[in-house]
Amino acid sequence: MITIIPAIDLIDAKCVRLSQGDYNQKTVYNENPLEVAKMFEDAGITRLHLVDLDGAKAKHIVNHKVLELIASKTKLIIDFGGGLKSDEDLRIAFESGAQMVTGGSIAVKDRETFLHWIETYGPEKIILGADAKDKMIAVSGWQEVSELSILEFIESYTSKGIRQVISTDIARDGMLTGPSIDLYREIMAQFPELGLIASGGIACIKDVKALCAVAGEGITGAITGRAIYEGKLDFRQAQAEADKC
C-alpha cells in the first residue's frame, strides 16, 4: 500500500509551492498553513510532509512555530525538513512536534552529524532526503548540485542504517508532468529493502496508478502538493486508489 502524503511548503509562514525548486517561481496558496493541515486531516489524510523553505535558505530552522501549531492542533504524523543543520535544530523540530525529520543537505555536507542523528534517534525517525537533478544530488534548497550520484548517495547511508528515503526528481517538482517512474525503478532495483517515498510531478489519479504499478518494488509513499492545491487530485480518491496497491 502507498500512503498519500500531502506537502505544505513554508515561506514567511505561508503555504506556498515552488516550480523546480526555484524561489523566484513561487505561488502562495494559503496564508494559513493550519487551515490547510486541518483540511487534509478532515479528508482522512494521516501524514504530512512539512518543509521549511525559509530554513533551507537560511541554513537553520525558521518556521518551527508553524510546525508546533499544526502538531498541537491536529493528529497528523508530521515529517519535517528544511534548514536542519545542527543538533539544536533537530531538538527544536522534535520538541515542536515532528515525529520524523528529513535530512538532505546535512547528509551531504556534514556526514558526521547526520550519522550521529541516525545513531541517536534511530532510522524510524530520520529520513534521508535524496533530491536529484539529472540523477545528481542537489542541496541547499536545491540551489546547489553536488557531484554525488543519487545511487551512490543512497548506498552510503543504507549501509549505515537508513531505511526510509524521500526522493524528488527536481525537474518534475511542481510541474505536474508525472512521477519519475524510471528513476524510482532504478533506485528500488539496487535497494530492494528500502522504503521509498516518491515526490514530484504527481498530477492526477493516473499518476497514482502508475506508482501503484511499481509499489511492489518498494514504493511506500507518494508526496503531492500542487496537484492537490489546484484541485487536479482528490485526496480521498487518491488514497482509495493507493489502498489497492
Residue 141: the pLDDT is 57
pLDDT at 78: 98
Residues 176-195, mean pLDDT to the nearest whole number: 91
Handedness of CA 195, 200, 201, 204 (dihedral sign): positive
**Residue 16 in this model has a pLDDT that exceeds 90:** yes
Question: 2 with 219: CB under 8 angstroms?
Answer: yes
Q: Which domain holds residue 51?
A: 3-242
- Model pLDDT, residue 134: 87
In the structure, what pLDDT confidence band is assigned to residue 39 with cuts at 50, 70 and 90?
very high
Helix (H, G, I), strand (E, B) or coil at 225: coil
Q: Are 167 and 142 in contact (CB under 8 A)?
A: no
Q: Is the pLDDT of residue 20 over 70?
A: no
Cα separation, 138 vs 54, whole angstroms: 17
Name the band, by pLDDT with cuts 50, 70 and 90, for residue 31. Answer: very high
CA distance 108 to 111: 6
Question: Looking at the predicted structure, is the pLDDT value of residue 174 above 80?
Answer: no
Query: What pLDDT does 175 receive?
Result: 64
Interval 96-111: pLDDT, tens: 999 999 999 899 999 9
Q: What is the pLDDT of residues 197-208, one digit of tens each?
A: 999 889 899 999
- The pLDDT value recorded for residue 98 is 98
Q: How many CB atoms lie within 10 A of CB 34?
A: 16
pLDDT digits (tens, 9 = 90+) for 209-232: 999 888 776 899 999 988 999 999
Give start and end residues of each alpha helix (H) in the chain: 33-42, 53-58, 64-73, 87-95, 105-109, 111-121, 150-158, 181-190, 205-213, 226-229, 235-242
* pLDDT over threshold 90, residue 170: no
Amino acid at residue number 132 = A
- Grid coordinates 502507498 are at which residue? 2
Instruction: Give, in order, the Cα–Cα distances in Å from 156 to each of 7, 109, 115, 149, 160.
Output: 27, 13, 11, 11, 7
Q: Is 9 a catalytic residue?
A: yes
Q: Of residues 52, 89, 131, 207, which has the active-site annotation? A: 131
Can you give the CATH number for the domain in which 122 is found? 3.20.20.70
Q: Which of 47, 41, 56, 46 is nearest to 9 (CA)?
A: 56
Q: Which residues pair with 134 in a beta bridge?
A: none
- Indicate the number of domains in the chain: 1
Confidence band, pLDDT 50/70/90 cuts, at residue 142: low
> Is 42 noted as a catalytic residue in this protein?
no
* 75-84, 111-120, 130-139: the lowest-pLDDT one: 130-139
pLDDT higher than 70, residue 21:
no
